[in-house]
Amino acid sequence: MCGRMAVTLPHDAMAQMFQAAPGNDLPEVPNYNVCPTNRVHVVASDGARRLSAMRWGFLPNWYKAENDGPLLINARAETIAQKPAFRDAARARRCLIPASGFYEWTKDAEGNRLPWYIARADGAPLAMAGIWQVWGNDDPMATCAVVTTAANPAMAEIHHRMPVIVAPEDWALWLGEAGHGAAVLMTAAPDDALIWHRVDRSVNSNRAAGPELIDPLDVE
């Protein structure tokens, strides 16, 4: 599962990292509380890589309105090739969704939602596997979803799902630049790839903002 993320890398650094041409309408950074339906940074390729903005919330072509069905922010790796909403995009419209980290939640004995911030152990940005498509005829909009898989044993202590993290050496394969076989990449990252810490419950609000959202929370 990935339901909230943070993006702090500057646009020029992001473009350089992925060797992608940046668009002119990229979302503002840093953003420590990127929420579903927000515009997110996406790297896609049609032979040349482009860094652009897309709505986080994949819209199948049969939706008549943005709220015409479930909000599809994630696509399960196990069923992505069979689901009518995702299968064409999984075959032909894959992308990378950069993030500095993402949030996940556990619950305490009273049912309170306790947020965790999760990032790469080596401090590098995440490149999450994604799919995309353009929705609408009158006012076309590019939309995307994060591909998720079953959590590795370490991550399973926080949540049973996690984003598919694509290693730099596999970016070309996931983007369709290096032939076929991207399905083999839709697995969980190694146990030691990610680290996490508790953060303040203020991030539970989609209106919260600021770098303090990812600060470690002192818990006993």
Look at residue 217 and tell me if it is in a domain: no
CATH code, domain with 193: 3.90.1680.10
- Active-site residues: which are they? 2, 104
Cis peptide before 22 (omega within 30 of 0): no
Look at residue 91 and tell me if it is in a domain: yes
Look at residue 53 and tell me if it is in a domain: yes
Question: pLDDT truncated to tens, each residue of the chain (220 aa)?
Answer: 679 999 999 999 999 999 999 999 999 999 999 999 999 999 999 999 999 999 999 999 999 999 999 999 999 999 999 999 999 999 999 999 999 999 999 999 999 999 999 999 999 999 999 999 999 988 899 999 999 999 999 999 999 999 999 999 999 999 999 988 999 999 999 999 999 999 999 999 999 999 999 999 986 5
**77/62 Cα distance (integer angstroms):** 22
Look at residue 59 and tell me if it is in a domain: yes
Look at residue 151 and tell me if it is in a domain: yes
Look at residue 106 and tell me if it is in a domain: yes
**91/132 Cα distance (integer angstroms):** 11
Q: What is the pTM of this model?
A: 0.96
Look at residue 169 and tell me if it is in a domain: yes
Query: With contact defined as beta carbons under 8 Å apart, do 43 and 175 qualify?
Result: yes
Nearest Cα to 161, choosing from 128, 133, 131? 128
Count: domains in the chain: 1
Q: Which domain holds residue 107?
A: 5-201
Look at residue 116 and tell me if it is in a domain: yes
